[in-house]
């Protein structure tokens, strides 16, 4: 299954924040959108970084409440791994597992067109396995 199929099901809406947005606003945006990560983008189309709940928690552990006045640009991961809509879920699942991240922006010609989470990838993989199991069962049963 391709990432383009995952995006068809979940949509291509991506929550973004500007690099100068303070962490207190980032936390509010994470809660508002019900997501675990936000793409950091100057224009809403480029991927300048990514910031996750994990990034915020780690900074809070070190700097405490002062973290809330820092910016998304301060805490974001600047070297973001992205994928294309033509990537397979198997490829992306392997990379996410190996490199230990849970969100991957999807880009096309340098433009943000979606985002997938490890949950999206696992759900797609489980769906594919269910279909394969059903087909094998039907084949064996003579249907």
**Per-residue pLDDT at 137 exceeds 90:** no
pLDDT by residue (tens digit) across 4-35? 999 999 998 999 999 999 999 999 999 999 99
pLDDT by residue (tens digit) across 85-123? 999 999 999 999 999 999 999 999 999 999 999 999 888
CATH number of the domain encompassing residue 113: 3.10.580.10
Q: Residue 53 sits in which domain range?
A: 3-141
| Contacts with 57 (C-beta within 8 Å, 6 or more apart), sequence order | none
* 8 Å CB contact between 89 and 3: yes
The domain total for the chain is: 1
pTM of the model: 0.87
């Amino acid at each position: 299954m391709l990432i383009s199929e995952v995006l068809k099901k979940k949509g291509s809406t991506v929550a973004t924040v500007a690099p100068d947005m303070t962490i207190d606003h980032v936390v509010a945006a994470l809660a508002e959108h019900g997501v675990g990560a936000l793409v950091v983008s100057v224009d809403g189309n480029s991927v300048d970084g990514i910031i996750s709940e994990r990034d915020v928690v780690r900074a809070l552990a070190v700097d405490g409440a002062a973290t809330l006045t820092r910016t998304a640009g301060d805490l974001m991961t600047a070297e973001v791994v992205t994928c294309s809509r033509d990537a397979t879920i198997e490829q992306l699942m392997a990379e996410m597992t190996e490199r230990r991240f849970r969100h991957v922006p999807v880009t096309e010609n340098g433009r943000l067109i979606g985002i997938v989470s490890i949950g999206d990838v696992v759900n797609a993989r489980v769906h594919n396995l269910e279909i394969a199991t059903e087909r094998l069962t039907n084949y064996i049963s003579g249907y």
